[in-house]
Every structure is written in structure tokens, then in C-alpha cells.
Amino acid sequence: MQNETKKDNDVSRQRSVLTSPYCAYGMAILLAITGACREGCHNAIYDESKARIVELEGQVSDKDEEIKKLNKQIQELAQKLQVLNQKMVNSKSDYDFELKRQAKQLQVALRPNAFGKINVAHLEFLLYEIFNQVFVLDPQSPDFYDDIHKLSKIIREAKASLKRDK
């Protein structure tokens, strides 16, 4: 009985967050990013030791300006996500449990692995998970949207550049 009530509350919470205009806008941007990544950079990882994107099938030249721009954007987005992560950790909202869980996942995703690499695709997957929380915590954060929009554009440009080089 108690589980059913909890489940109903979860469903209504998800429905209210998912139908907010902020969420619809954010999800549209995230879908654009994921689409761009699937077409070209989805299997890329950020190699911090070499300060470049490395494709899983092969390597990308350090001289590629688009890739350098993409790296810079990824680093900036990671910093923004760390700020968001701190908000999530400090939150006193009704979504505390979910926020803490997502905050832990985000901390792990932002930490380079043993090879100094951050998995970009994993970060984007986590964005889906945490984006609703942005609206709960700070619905008036257009700078976050702008950064994600810029990242989407740069991923597309990098993808086009990679295709030209092949």
C-alpha cells in the first residue's frame, strides 16, 4: 500500500516536471546534442593528458581547431556541471534523494579515468538524468542553456570536420 502511494507520487512528480516549459526547451537542446554525437562524435572521449578528443576507432589530429574548440567547450561544460553538482549536494528540496544519487554519478563522470579520459557520451547521458533538476533548483538559468546550445553547435562542426578529413 505504501509502495503504491510512493509510486503514484513519483509518477505525478515526473509528470509535473516533464511537462514544464523549461523542461521541454532543455530536452530539445539535449536531443540536438545527442543527435550530433551519434552522427560523429558519440564514441569520442576527452583525453585530458593530451588535451584532445580521441575517437575510439582512431585518433584525431591535435591541430584540428574544431576539436580544440570542442575540448574547451567540454571543459567549460564540466565546470558548469560541477557548480550544478554542488547545488544538488546542498539542496534542501523534495527531490533530495534523487539529487544526491545524481550528484554522486556526476562526480564520478567528471573525474577522468586512470588514462586521464572523460567519457563524453556518459556525460551527455547524465545530462538527461539531471536536466530536470536544473529547473527544480534554478529555473532561471539561461546561461546553462546557452552553453549547452554552443556545445551542440561545436560538436556538429567537429563532426563535419572529421568527415571532411576522412
Q: What is the pLDDT of residues 126-148, one digit of tens each?
A: 665 555 555 555 555 555 555 55
Mean pLDDT, the chain, as a whole number? Answer: 53
What are the pLDDT digits (tens) for 4-16? 554 444 444 433 3
CA distances from 61 to 66, 140, 158 (A): 10, 39, 12
Phi, psi torsion values for 57, nearest 5 degrees: -85, -25
Task: State the pLDDT confidence band at 24, using cuts at 50, 70 and 90.
Answer: very low
Rg of the chain taking only CA atoms, in angstroms: 17
Q: For residue 64, is pLDDT > 60?
A: no
Q: Which helix (H) or strand (E) holds 80?
A: helix 65-90
Q: Which helix (H) or strand (E) holds 75?
A: helix 65-90
**pTM for this one?**
0.35
- Mean pLDDT, to the nearest integer, of 51-65? 47
Q: For residue 156, is pLDDT > 50?
A: yes
Q: For residue 101, is pLDDT > 50?
A: yes
Domains of the chain, by residue range, sit at: 2-165
Q: Confirm if 84 and 144 have CB atoms less than 8 A apart.
A: yes
Q: Which helix (H) or strand (E) holds 76?
A: helix 65-90
Helices (H), 94-141: 96-110, 120-137
Q: Confirm if 166 and 64 have CB atoms less than 8 A apart.
A: no
Q: Confirm if 73 and 150 have CB atoms less than 8 A apart.
A: yes
* Residue-level pLDDT at 82: 62
What are the pLDDT digits (tens) for 74-100? 566 666 666 665 665 666 655 556 656
- Mean pLDDT, to the nearest integer, of 105-133? 60
Strands (E), 4-160: 44-47, 52-55, 117-119
Q: Confirm if 120 and 151 have CB atoms less than 8 A apart.
A: no
- Mean pLDDT, to the nearest integer, of 59-79? 57
Task: State the pLDDT confidence band at 125, using cuts at 50, 70 and 90.
Answer: low
CA atoms within 13 A on the CB side of 15: 6
Burial (CB < 10 A; 0-12, 13-18, 19+), residue 91, is: middle
